[in-house]
Amino acid sequence: MLSLLQTLKQNYQKALLFALYGGIGCLIIALILGEWFLHLTELSPLPQTDQKAVILLIDSSGSMEGGKLEEVKTAAINFINRRDFSKEQLGVINFGETVNIITSLSTNQAQLNQGINSLQALGGTPMAAGIKQAITSLSSTDNNRYILLFTDGMPQSQFQAILAANKGRNQSILMIVVATGDADIQYLTRLTGDPNLVFYANSGEIDQGFRQAELAINNQQLLESKTTGNYSLTYSSLRTGGWTAIITLGLSLTLIVAQNHYLHRRLLTIKETFLILIGSTIAGLIAGGIGSSLFTILTNLPNSELIAGVINWGIAGTITFVIINSIRRNIPLKEILIRGFLLGIIAAVALIFTIDYLGDAGILIAGFIVGCGVYYTFYSKGLAWFFGIIVLFSGSWLLLPSVNFSSALEIAIRLIAWTILGAIVALGISYFIPNLQRLRAFLGGSLGGSLASIGFLLMSLILTQFISIETSLADRLGRLIGAFILGFCIGLMIFWEEERQLQKSTYLLIRWNDQESRKILLGEIPIWLGSSLDAQIALSKTKYPDKFAKIFKAGNQVFFEFHSDYAQAKGIKITQQEWSSSQSRTFDGITLTIVDETR
């Protein structure tokens, strides 16, 4: 990171040129064409229903013995008796010694009341299993779905209960909680995702708690209201790919213009425009299509909520390693990103496989793995203990999905898609920057896309959490800001990779005057001088032919070679000449000097 900042400081002109051209180009085309395309391809909203399906999920553990369970029964029966069964289905599930379906979804009021009266207090608090069973019971209906949970304590596994609750939110199931006794309101808020859906009731006030929950059910819309139509996988992939292709077009066009502007060339030719149009369409459809397809496929996988947890652990591991490395040890950034992400995934997988046997104590395994990973990367026992303890005390809170699975997966897919997009765009741009190594461009573009994704997510967090604006406006601003960040980061990383190569290679230094100079990498691809639009060094059309001469590197030697037509017209016998390092030549007022940084 320090080397990047030093490079920017020394070569700010091209760095800012590429970054700002890329960012502004993406922003303009996103504003003019991108938003229009999304509006044009948006499907009509699906019709909404006021039909409801509610599962009463009641904690009947041993702590509910005595008058507490009887009070809950009375409150639950009163709740049932107030419901409109012409528009609703209700079911009853309890969890204590085991999880039991007391009554499946039904409109039979008497049967529901009878089921409530049969409840007995016994056993522990397997809340996670109860939530999973409630989700399964609601999967058979297309009505608006709700879980009304009553509990007086903490679940046997907080980790598993949160995963189960996240799974419900992913399926647009709204959870509302009535709590009493030793129940932790902050924890229950994590289950619902909204503090306004958690109601605490003291003994003697439980019926009032159920009435508050009833108001929430009556007034609350779906957690994820469908404001647009139902997009198929193919349509969604094409729509996302089309938007991405538009953004890629703007980015590619402006980066080519930036390169040509930097070298005092014409800004754009018809040939370049055609190539960019084709390449951008392909790159956008690939990146956008892959992202959309992955999102749709992964959200339909069994236990998809676990994927979100693993992804979050990987992201947290990456961020942790980047922070430590910035102050502790100068390990290459790419290596740190890979190590951190893999460590997070390994710890998450270990936790998932041990939690069924150890409960929340499984976090000990994850803490041990994280501590070992930190130690063997940075050789610091203090840091290893520190981050291991952080995982022990806050891992299940810090690293579990704090948003629903769709949001968490969207983060990961955006990171993947933008990384792919950055790599493809940079690879394509490298063909317009002579002798830029393809692999360097590919890796630089990948990193640029990844950084852009992280920057976009941070900006989205600011818009949604700290600035109160209307949702559709926030979405639009997020897309536009994301487009700018994407162009800025990819443009910056392409420049950085070229600059890194220049520092260890032979290049041509071009001077127009004492204040203005440029550098071009030398290699097997020749640098043409002439008056044609394709010449990298543009000369006067009145004095020089379309192709005057070329400069190239063969082995360790640099050669200057006149074009055969020019040599024949001028009677030049020796058309190829060796050009030594530090030697300068001037053509049309432009001074060219060979600089060798390999020695």
Contacts of 478 (CB under 8 A, 6+ apart): 456, 459, 460, 463
Phi, psi of 178 (to 5 degrees): -110, 125
Let me know if domain 53-143+145-219 sits in CATH 3.40.50.300: no
Q: How confident is the model at residue 467 (pLDDT cuts 50, 70, 90)?
A: low
Average pLDDT, integer, range 563-579: 91
Residue identified by tokens 């949702």 is 471
**Higher-confidence position of 231 and 168:** 168
pLDDT exceeds 90 at position 144? no
Condensed to tens digits (0 to 9), the pLDDT of residues 393-438 reads 655 544 444 444 445 556 667 777 778 888 888 888 888 888 888 8
Q: Which pair of tokens denotes residue 372?
A: 């070992």
| Residues 180/202, Cβ–Cβ less than 8 Å | yes
pLDDT exceeds 70 at position 1? no
pLDDT exceeds 90 at position 510? yes
Q: How confident is the model at residue 449 (pLDDT cuts 50, 70, 90)?
A: confident
pLDDT at 303: 57
Mapping DSSP to helix (H, G, I), strand (E, B) and coil, where does residue 554 land? strand
pLDDT at 511: 92
**Higher-confidence position of 364 and 56:** 56
Q: What is the DSSP letter of 64?
A: G
pLDDT exceeds 50 at position 371? yes
Average pLDDT, the chain: 80
Q: Which pair of tokens denotes residue 398?
A: 């810090």
pLDDT exceeds 50 at position 382? yes
Q: How confident is the model at residue 590 (pLDDT cuts 50, 70, 90)?
A: very high
Closest by CA to 191, choosing from 218, 173, 211, is: 173
Condensed to tens digits (0 to 9), the pLDDT of residues 481-497 reads 888 888 888 888 888 88
Q: How confident is the model at residue 468 (pLDDT cuts 50, 70, 90)?
A: low
Percent of the chain with pLDDT over 70: 83
Q: What is the DSSP letter of 183?
A: -
Residue identified by tokens 């060979």 is 594
Q: Which pair of tokens denotes residue 385?
A: 């203990």
pLDDT at 408: 54
pLDDT at 5: 41
Condensed to tens digits (0 to 9), the pLDDT of residues 257-315 reads 888 888 888 888 888 888 888 888 888 778 777 776 766 666 555 555 566 667 777 77
Q: What CATH number belongs to 507-596?
A: 2.60.200.20
Residue identified by tokens 């060339």 is 265
**Higher-confidence position of 552 and 233:** 552
pLDDT at 92: 93
Give the C-alpha distances (Å, rounded to integers) separating 420 from 174, 310, 416, 450.
35, 21, 6, 9
Q: Which pair of tokens denotes residue 237?
A: 């992939």
pLDDT at 171: 79
Rounded Cα distance, 508 and 266, in Å: 20
| Residues 580/594, Cβ–Cβ less than 8 Å | yes
pLDDT at 147: 94
pLDDT at 225: 35
Range of weakest confidence among 132-136, 361-365, 409-413, 568-572: 409-413
The number of angstroms, rounded, from the C-alpha of 61 to the middle of its chain's C-alpha atoms is 41
Mapping DSSP to helix (H, G, I), strand (E, B) and coil, where does residue 117 land? helix
Closest by CA to 486, choosing from 452, 446, 456, is: 452
Condensed to tens digits (0 to 9), the pLDDT of residues 324-333 reads 877 766 778 7
Range of weakest confidence among 192-201, 263-272, 360-369, 446-455: 360-369
pLDDT exceeds 50 at position 599? yes
pLDDT at 284: 78
Domain residue limits, the chain: 2-36+238-499, 53-143+145-219, 507-596
Q: What is the DSSP letter of 328?
A: S
Rounded Cα distance, 280 and 244, in Å: 9
Q: How confident is the model at residue 227 (pLDDT cuts 50, 70, 90)?
A: very low
Q: What is the 3-state secondary structure (H, E, C) of 304-318?
A: HHHHHHHHHHHHHHH
4 class by beta-carbon count within 10 Å (0-12 exposed, 13-18 middle, 19+ buried)? middle
pLDDT at 353: 73
| Mean pLDDT comparison of 31-40, 62-71, 411-420, highest-scoring range | 31-40
| Mean pLDDT comparison of 239-248, 321-330, 344-353, 541-550, highest-scoring range | 541-550
Range of weakest confidence among 117-126, 146-155, 368-377, 515-524: 368-377
Q: What is the DSSP letter of 532?
A: S
Q: Which pair of tokens denotes residue 316?
A: 């947290």
Q: Which pair of tokens denotes residue 393?
A: 């005390």
Q: At what angle do helices 471-502 and 438-465 cross, to 10 degrees?
A: 150
What pTM did the predictor assign?
0.60
Q: At what angle do helices 67-82 and 109-117 cross, to 10 degrees?
A: 170
